[in-house]
């Protein structure tokens, strides 16, 4: 059974704080890892697609790193804002498996 695990499950931070969370996935049969941002009542929105060990991607205040050998990826948000509040999902595309997400709430 392939498992994609995300931690923490939920997180509350103050506006302006930087934060990070983790996605763990099987290190064998790696193809690609996706990060999605999912706001309530909307469909998941793609943030990053990461394919190579050591990949680092950045989009504004959000960045991600990838370690395929040990099977993890980190998502970082610098200077969190209330509009960053959402569920952040990672997906492991060998079997199109999603993690259960990290629910981030940024308090003003």
Partner 1 sequence: DAGVIQSPRHEVTEMGQEVTLRCKPISGHDYLFWYRQTMMRGLELLIYFNNNVPIDDSGMPEDRFSAKMPNASFSTLKIQPSEPRDSAVYFCASRRHGDYGYTFGSGTRLTVV
**Candidate list 49, 65, 72, 85; residue touching partner 1; CB under 8 A:** 49
Peptide bond into 8 cis (omega under 30): yes
In angstroms, give the least distance from the CB of 84 to partner 1. Answer: 20
Pair of tokens at residue 52: 């190579």
Does 76 participate in binding partner 1 (rule CB under 8 A)? no
**Candidate list 32, 55, 78, 85; residue touching partner 1; CB under 8 A:** 32
According to DSSP, the residues that pair with 23 across neighbouring strands are 6, 73
Does 71 participate in binding partner 1 (rule CB under 8 A)? no
**Candidate list 58, 59, 69, 95; residue touching partner 1; CB under 8 A:** 95
Does 7 participate in binding partner 1 (rule CB under 8 A)? no
Place of tokens 């990949």: 55
Pair of tokens at residue 86: 């959402």
Does 40 participate in binding partner 1 (rule CB under 8 A)? no
Strand ranges of the sheet holding 72-77, from the earlier edge strand across to the other edge: 5-7, 19-24, 72-77, 62-67, 56-59
According to DSSP, the residues that pair with 57 across neighbouring strands are 64
| Residues in touch with partner 1 (CB under 8 A) | 32, 34, 42-44, 46, 49, 51, 89, 91, 93, 95-101
């Amino acid at each position: 059974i392939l498992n994609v695990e995300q931690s923490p499950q939920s997180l509350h931070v103050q506006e302006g704080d930087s934060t990070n969370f983790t996605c763990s996935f099987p290190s064998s049969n790696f193809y690609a890892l996706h990060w999605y941002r999912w706001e309530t009542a909307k469909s998941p929105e793609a943030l990053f697609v990461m394919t190579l060990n050591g990949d680092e991607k950045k989009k504004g205040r959000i960045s991600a790193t990838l370690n395929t050998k040990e099977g993890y990826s980190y998502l970082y948000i610098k200077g969190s804002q209330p509009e960053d509040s959402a569920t952040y999902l990672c997906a492991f595309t060998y079997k199109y498996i999603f993690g259960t997400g990290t629910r981030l709430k940024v308090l003003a």
